[in-house]
Amino acid sequence: MRAIGMAILFCLPLLTGIAGAHEPDTFTVIVREDRHDPMQVDVIVNDTVHYYNADNRTNITHTIGLDLNGDGDFDDENEFSSGVLHYSCDWTNDSDCRVAWKFEINSTDYVGNFVLSDLMSDGTETEVYLNIGMDNHATNAPEIGECFGDGCDEDEVEETNLESSSRSTVENAMMLGGLLFLLIAIGLASSMIAERP
Ligand SMILES: [Ca+2]
């Protein structure tokens, strides 16, 4: 019975965690000549950051990303980047051209505080900050195979039984308390009667 109770204790917060899951947000960052607006973004897993290139200087492009080993590119292990971002595109002739980077933070692998580099085509660089936190609700979600499917349904049934059994325990305790009170009252009454001359 204790094991079942423990299982329910573990399952309940997991189930409520799913119900209260974080709604994904989208944050927009305006990429400018000398800065980003804002310079720092704080998000959590499942959010999206939209970096939009608003630097209208002629022939200047931006590439934003994580340069872990500081070698000036974003191609090494665990590095990621926006690809080249232009101010404007001629999509008729260049369908791959992009003006924005929609960074979907769809994995807990991204959790951490990052200093991203915005490398511009003229060789200059701006450092910007991206802090990615855990979705605390999502982290409460069950691990694969845990508390999903038939096993969980059984636990819910057991929970009902547990509730009714604990309720009857309370009732028993109250009855016992009432009996004790009655016995004390009788004892007091009889001792008062006995003390009378
Ligand atoms: Ca690198």
Residues 153 and 131 in one domain: no
Q: What is the pLDDT of residues 149-169, one digit of tens each?
A: 444 454 444 554 555 556 567
Residues 103 and 152 in one domain: no
Please give the residue that has the higher pLDDT: either 114 or 22: 114
CA of 70 to the centre of ligand 1 (A): 5
CA of 81 to the centre of ligand 1 (A): 10
Residues 59 and 43 in one domain: yes
Q: Which of 97, 115, 139 is the last residue of a domain?
A: 139
CA of 114 to the centre of ligand 1 (A): 14
CA of 84 to the centre of ligand 1 (A): 15
Residues 125 and 28 in one domain: yes
CA of 74 to the centre of ligand 1 (A): 4
Residues 56 and 135 in one domain: yes
Nearest to 195 by CA among 180, 183, 187, 181: 187
Residues 134 and 56 in one domain: yes
Number of domains in the chain: 2
pLDDT of residue 125: 95
Cβ-contact 49, 41 below 8 angstroms: yes
Model confidence at 8, pLDDT cuts 50, 70, 90, reads: very low
Q: What is the pLDDT of residues 26-46, one digit of tens each?
A: 999 999 999 999 999 999 999
Residues 130 and 153 in one domain: no
CA of 71 to the centre of ligand 1 (A): 5
Residues spanned by the domain of 124? 22-139
CA of 69 to the centre of ligand 1 (A): 5
Residues 118 and 90 in one domain: yes
pLDDT of residue 157: 47
Q: Give the C-alpha separation, 45 to 138, whole Å.
A: 9
Cβ-contact 62, 120 below 8 angstroms: yes
- Give this prediction's pTM: 0.60
Q: What is the pLDDT of residues 131-146, one digit of tens each?
A: 999 987 644 544 444 4
CA of 79 to the centre of ligand 1 (A): 7
